[in-house]
Chain A
Amino acid sequence: MFKSDRVAQILNLVTAGLLLVATAMVFFYAPTEVTMGAVQRVFYFHVAAAWVGLAAFMVTFVAGLVYLRTGKHLWDQIGHASVEIGLVFTVMGAASGSIWARPAWNTWWTWDPRLTTYTIMALIYVAYLMLRQGLDDPDRRARFAAIYGIVGFISVPITFFSIRIWRTIHPVVVGGSGDAAQGTFHMTSPMLQTMLFSVFTFSVVYVCLLVNRVRLEDLAERVEQLKVRMLSA
């Protein structure tokens, strides 16, 4: 799946198509929300980006476990690629959320549990990339990164619960609406369809990016190996 040019090409095309449809749905299919106005349309891709951010780090967690068990190089590549992509989506989610929060909550930032946890989570994975950068031996780098990916991911829910006790004002989208939540809105079915389709699309975008990132890593490693061989020759 990761090595074939053909699979990558098809995946790229499918992803581009889905992204076009999702964008069209956000702007033309979903109705304008009454109390917040146009900015509510940010919500669809915001939720999708935040979801992919979390899912990507979960993939790194699983890849870390599998790497430690099997020692297969591909799982190290997947873990690394997934963190990079996850960080991009986490920043996208945080930035778009912030832009939505300005008109909805009248502030760019609150110390709400989900926001705070997301920020701390992003810092964990920045640290992950720095750790990788600081280690020269590839085998050790892979092992340490796997361990940190596991430890970091386990800490995320605990961090969330520790901050949770400070009351949340983040709207609860699925399930009952929190009484303290501002900016909650009633979702009509076109809205729900748009959100679910956005989440699905972003998941495919994630897989597409992951495949391409691993292929880029393969290229980098080939160049590196060639360099070493040239120097030793």
Chain B
Amino acid sequence: MDTPDTFNYLLLGYAVLFGLPFLYLLSWWFRRRNLQRDLELLQTLNDEQKK
């Protein structure tokens, strides 16, 4: 029996297997960035309030 050529499916499979966690990590990056911005803003506001 010949081995079928399924290389394209292999590529697709690993594109998904690496792509999905990549997107998930990207969402973390955005979340972290927004939080850090908020944190800085809050800290400056806090400092102004003290003055």
Interface residues, chain A, with chain B CB atoms under 8 Å away? 32-42, 45-46, 49, 88, 91-92, 95-96, 99-100, 102-103, 212-213, 216, 219-220, 222-223, 226-227, 230, 233
| Interchain residue pairs with CB less than 8 A apart (23) | A33-B3, A36-B3, A36-B4, A37-B3, A37-B6, A37-B7, A38-B5, A38-B9, A39-B9, A39-B10, A41-B14, A45-B14, A46-B13, A92-B17, A95-B16, A95-B20, A99-B16, A103-B6, A219-B36, A223-B42, A227-B42, A230-B49, A233-B49
Whether B35 lies near A220 (C-beta < 8 A) is yes
Asked if A38 and B6 sit within 8 Å, CB to CB, the answer is yes
CB closest residue in chain B, given A91 = B20
* Given contact pairs A36-B6, A223-B39, A233-B49, a sample of 14 additional A-B residue pairs in the complex whose CB atoms are under 8 Å apart: A35-B1, A36-B3, A37-B5, A38-B9, A39-B6, A40-B6, A42-B14, A45-B17, A46-B17, A96-B17, A216-B31, A219-B35, A219-B36, A220-B35
Q: Which residues of A contact B45 (CB under 8 A)?
A: 230
**How many angstroms between the C-alpha atoms of A220 and B28 in the bound complex?**
11
Bound Cα distance from A49 to B16, whole angstroms: 12
Kindly state the separation between the CA atoms of A156 and B27 in the bound complex, as whole angstroms.
28
Q: Which 4 A-B pairs have the closest CB atoms?
A: A42-B13, A39-B6, A37-B6, A39-B9
Judging by beta carbons under 8 Å apart, are B13 and A99 in contact?
A: yes
Closest residue of chain A to B5 (Cβ to Cβ) is A37
* A102 CB contacts on chain B under 8 angstroms: 9
Which residue on chain A has the smallest CB distance to residue B28? A216
**Please, which residues of chain A bring their CB within 8 A of the CB of B43?**
226
Please determine whether B28 and A92 come into contact, CB atoms closer than 8 angstroms. Answer: no
CA distance A32 to B10 in the complex (A): 11
Hey, which chain B residues are within 8 Å of A103, CB to CB?
4, 6, 9
Tell me the minimal C-beta distance from B13 to chain A in angstroms.
4
User: Which B residues are CB-close (under 8 A) to A39?
Assistant: 6-7, 9-10, 13
* Distance in Å: Cβ of A183 to nearest Cβ of chain B: 12
Contacts of A36 on B, CB cut-off 8 Å? 3-4, 6
Could you give, for residues 25-48 of chain B, a 1 whenever the CB lies within 8 Å of some chain A CB and a 0 otherwise?
000100110011011001101100
- Check A42–B17 contact: CB distance below 8 A: yes
Q: How far is the CA of A230 from the CA of B39 in the complex (A)?
A: 12
Nearest Cβ on chain A to B16's Cβ, whole angstroms: 5
Contact B3 A35 (CB under 8 A): yes
**A220 to B36, alpha carbons, bound, how many Å?**
9
Task: Say whether A92 contacts B21, CB under 8 Å.
Answer: yes
A233 contact set on B, CB distance < 8 A: 49
